[in-house]
């Protein structure tokens, strides 16, 4: 039986449960390109590399094609270099992957638009890369509404992406994961947690425990 893309994404991301959390585990594999850390690994993840690696395995037709797929997800037009990495989820990762037809922001559930000015100039400038601060508009499900919405049993079965928006000036999305919904059950957050491992827990429970988040942004994965 051939699984659908979304079934593969669910299966792959679930298979990594229990793996270790590690901040910044991936790089370009070459100091000349930016970061000598490996371009792919499956023994440990941070929140972003977890969703990227899971998606790459789900999209790849063979094991040999996983890394090229991952490169296209992580880097602008697949150009492997620190300067071209999709560092900012809101200004880099989501726009690049939306343009490539891999994801689509969900706007229908949002109850607010959060405008953020991202401090990209200082971040990139530390590496001698010229970038301007960037204003973005985030279709936000505000904290109160998200707590109520995701405390209810799901009415459908699906897997989507979710980003948690914080209060830090110059930043927007501070954490990412998968929003896993099963009809009749409370939605789960499947994520690489700084608590130590890749895990899943009720999304509303996680959000309630993190007062630093003002709301969430949701995106769909396109086959």
Domain positions in the chain are: 5-221
Q: 116 - beta bridge partners?
A: 136
Cβ atoms 168, 148 nearer than 8 A = no
Q: Which pLDDT belongs to residue 2?
A: 77
- Which residue do the tokens 């051939």 mark? 2
Q: Which pLDDT belongs to residue 192?
A: 99
pLDDT under 50 in the chain at which residues? Answer: none
Give the model confidence (pLDDT) of 39-52 as tens digits.
999 999 999 999 99
| CATH architecture of the domain with residue range 5-221 | Orthogonal Bundle (1.10)
Q: Which pLDDT belongs to residue 137?
A: 97
Q: What is the CA radius of gyration of the chain?
A: 17
Say whether pTM exceeds 0.85. Answer: yes
Cβ atoms 178, 159 nearer than 8 A = yes
Give the model confidence (pLDDT) of 105-145 as tens digits.
999 999 999 999 999 999 999 999 999 999 999 999 999 99
- If residue 214 lies in a helix (H) or strand (E), which one and from where to where? strand 213-221
| CA–CA distance, 40 with 22 (Å, rounded to integer) | 13
| CA–CA distance, 205 with 201 (Å, rounded to integer) | 7
Q: Which pLDDT belongs to residue 210?
A: 98
């Amino acid at each position: 039986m051939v699984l659908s893309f979304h079934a593969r994404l669910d299966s792959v991301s679930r298979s990594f449960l229990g793996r270790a959390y590690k901040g910044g585990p991936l790089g370009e594999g070459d100091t000349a390109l930016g970061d000598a850390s490996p371009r792919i690994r499956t023994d440990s993840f941070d929140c972003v590399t977890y969703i990227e690696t899971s998606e790459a395995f789900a999209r790849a037709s063979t094991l040999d094609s996983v890394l090229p797929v991952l490169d296209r997800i992580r880097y602008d037009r697949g150009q492997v270099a620190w300067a071209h990495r999709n560092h900012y989820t809101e200004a880099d990762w989501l726009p690049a992957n939306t343009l490539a037809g891999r994801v689509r922001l969900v706007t229908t559930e949002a109850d607010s638009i959060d405008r953020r000015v991202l401090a990209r100039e200082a971040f990139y400038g530390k590496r001698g890369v010229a970038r301007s601060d960037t204003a973005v508009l985030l279709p936000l499900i505000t904290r109160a509404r998200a707590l109520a919405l995701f405390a209810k049993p799901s009415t459908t079965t699906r897997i989507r992406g979710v980003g948690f928006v914080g209060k830090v000036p110059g930043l927007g999305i501070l954490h990412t994961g998968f929003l896993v919904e099963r009809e009749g059950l409370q939605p789960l957050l499947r994520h690489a947690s700084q608590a130590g491992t890749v895990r899943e827990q009720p999304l509303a429970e996680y959000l309630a425990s993190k007062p630093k988040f003002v709301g969430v942004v949701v995106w769909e994965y396109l086959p």
